[in-house]
Structure 1
Amino acid sequence: MTFSAILVGCSQLPEGDGDEHAVPAALADVGFAVRWASWDDGSVDFTAADLVILRASWDYAERREEFLGWCESVPALANAAPVVRWNTDKSYLAELIDAGLPAVPTELVKPGDEARWPGSDFVVKPSVGAGSRGAARFTAEATGAALAHLTALHGDGHTVLVQPYQSSVDVHGETALVYFGGIYSHAFTKGAMLGGQLDESGLYLTETLASTEPAADLRALAEDTLDAASALLGILRAELLYARVDVVRGEDGAPLLLELELAEPSLGFRHADAGAPLRFASAVRGQLA
């Protein structure tokens, strides 16, 4: 039996950034005919595919409502449109904090509201954004520059997140734990990105990545995060074709949730073992059930 799958990019990255180079072959091995397409390509009938998989739709931040409308028009989208709507606004972090998860302290500052600046280095970033675009780090004394950045983001209509910078990132980076169908697959580290250079596509900051075996307490937080998010969304973990949980260590060494990526995250296949694309392909088959 043959199924059809579309991997979704955008006009700047119509076939992704190369991370999924081994995925089409793995999907073909389990019965899929695979193609790439940009989400806004009007010549493609996305409704005809057995599964449409968001992978590199990283221009959505500037066109979010248009993008979400497209998501809602695709019946076999992974992850599903309600998940994408919830997860493409980082205000979801406040919900996860309210659910009791240990996360980087986050203040949401809506247009017209005033920010309370932390007493140490901090980060200011838009609640809707991909690839760390629009995120900036400031020292505790640089409140004038931070206010100018906040004002610019508010001028573009963004709600803004203000978070204390976690200095452990400078040494240990972030740890990204990847799940397929709700089951752990692999993990990789990401070096500090703030202040880095944009990729030639202009859609994301370049990163230094490396494979890793996450410590037990990081794994436990990632598991708790998926459970809490699934409960908030009213779904089973198995309904999430992919998930990436980004965690850091706080000043006391305890793990903190930084972000939960359920819409279109890079999954780090290039820094995973050779079985990762096969596990992903199996999870794709599982979505059809």
Structure 2
Amino acid sequence: MRVVLASCAALPRGDGDEDALVDVLRREGVDVVWQPWGEDVHADLVVLRATWDYTDRLDEFLAWCDRVPALANPVAVVRWNTDKSYLVELAARGVAVVPTAVVEPGSEPAFPDGEFVVKPAIGAGSRGAARFTDHAAARAHFEALGVKALVQPYQSSVDAHGETALVFFAGEYSHSFHKGPMLAQGLAESESGLYVEEELRGIEPKPAQISLANQVLDVAADLLSLSRKDFLYARVDVVEGPDGEPLLLELELTEPTLGFKHTGEEAASRLSAAIQAAIS
């Protein structure tokens, strides 16, 4: 078996999170290599991992995905998931989502009272995401982005409790990790230019969070006419809503960090097994 982990030119071997996965795959006899996206690729399976510069070249990225004969996650999933407007679709299907308004460039945004977030609908690594109370500053940020954006009320629970990321492989729950708050007032800062540094640690999720994550995957699979097992990997990011119940912040099906640095090797073994099963 030959597996390619797709990266980008700025991080040709990822950020180190997949080191455990590479070790497990090689130990189990899989020929696994890193390769930046955009190049011709020959493998039994190409797994999107650190392709974090695609937001600036989305059409080119999707065209490359179309050319890859065996891609995980599949290109139809990538097309749907790289535009965060999917949150509106999930909410319409009854998923508890952080309230989300989609604002097209050139239109007049309607900002909520209190704190709120403005972020690009097509974005990765929290780049371009900003937290505001001032409507004029938020409008200036939206205009500077010049792209379709999301407006969401800021969930103040994040300051105290952060986010919980629940990771699934082939539709089955694997592990979770905690993400500390990243957005102070104003624009999130990115040292690498590709993603905002996050404070991560392993965490045990609450039953209500697991229940929501399972619903999210079921609804997303139905929307895409797939089985949730067709998602080689999925990361469901949830926050605590005003009533204490979990809300979906993002469903990551394209290139999420999977938190291998913050869990045991068994998590990497689970993804290795899912990769080999997908090839077989």
TM-score by length of 2: 0.97
User: Are residues 1:179 and 2:173 paired?
Assistant: no
Paired with 1:127 and 1:287, the residues of 2 have a C-alpha distance of 30
In structure 1, the residue corresponding to 2:11 is in which secondary structure? coil
In the alignment, is the contact (CA less than 8 A) between 2:127 and 2:189 conserved in 1? no
Percent identity of equivalent pairs: 55
Residue of structure 2 equivalent to 1:258: 249
Paired with 1:31 and 1:284, the residues of 2 have a C-alpha distance of 12
1:272 CA drift (Å): 1.1
Query: Deviation per CA, 1:155-192, whole angstroms, max 9, x where unpaired?
Result: xxx11100000000000000000000100000001011
In structure 2, the residue corresponding to 1:22 is in which secondary structure? helix
1:22 CA drift (Å): 0.9
Residue of structure 1 equivalent to 2:105: 111
Describe how 1:66-215 pairs up with structure 2 within 5 A: 66-139=60-133, 142-154=134-146, 158-195=147-184, 196-199=188-191, 201-215=192-206
In structure 2, the residue corresponding to 1:163 is in which secondary structure? strand
Paired with 1:70 and 1:31, the residues of 2 have a C-alpha distance of 28
Query: Deviation per CA, 1:207-238, whole angstroms, max 9, x where unpaired?
Result: 00010000000000000000000000111111
1:252 CA drift (Å): 1.0
- Structure 2 residue runs of 5 or longer lacking an equivalent are none
Paired with 2:256 and 2:183, the residues of 1 have a C-alpha distance of 18
TM-score by length of 1: 0.94
1:137 CA drift (Å): 0.0
1:29 CA drift (Å): 3.0
Residue of structure 2 equivalent to 1:288: 279
Paired with 2:12 and 2:183, the residues of 1 have a C-alpha distance of 26
1:87 CA drift (Å): 0.3
Paired with 1:191 and 1:56, the residues of 2 have a C-alpha distance of 21
Query: Deviation per CA, 1:76-118, whole angstroms, max 9, x where unpaired?
Result: 0100111001000001111001111000000001122211111
- Structure 1 residue runs of 5 or longer lacking an equivalent are none
Paired with 1:193 and 1:151, the residues of 2 have a C-alpha distance of 22
The residue type equivalent to 2:7 in the other structure is G
Aligned-residue CA RMSD in angstroms?
1.0
Deviation beyond 6 Å, 4+ runs, structure 1: none
In the alignment, is the contact (CA less than 8 A) between 2:213 and 2:236 conserved in 1? yes
User: Are residues 1:268 and 2:259 paired?
Assistant: yes
In the alignment, is the contact (CA less than 8 A) between 2:105 and 2:148 conserved in 1? yes
In the alignment, is the contact (CA less than 8 A) between 2:4 and 2:35 conserved in 1? yes
| Equivalent residue pairs, number | 277
Residue of structure 1 equivalent to 2:20: 22
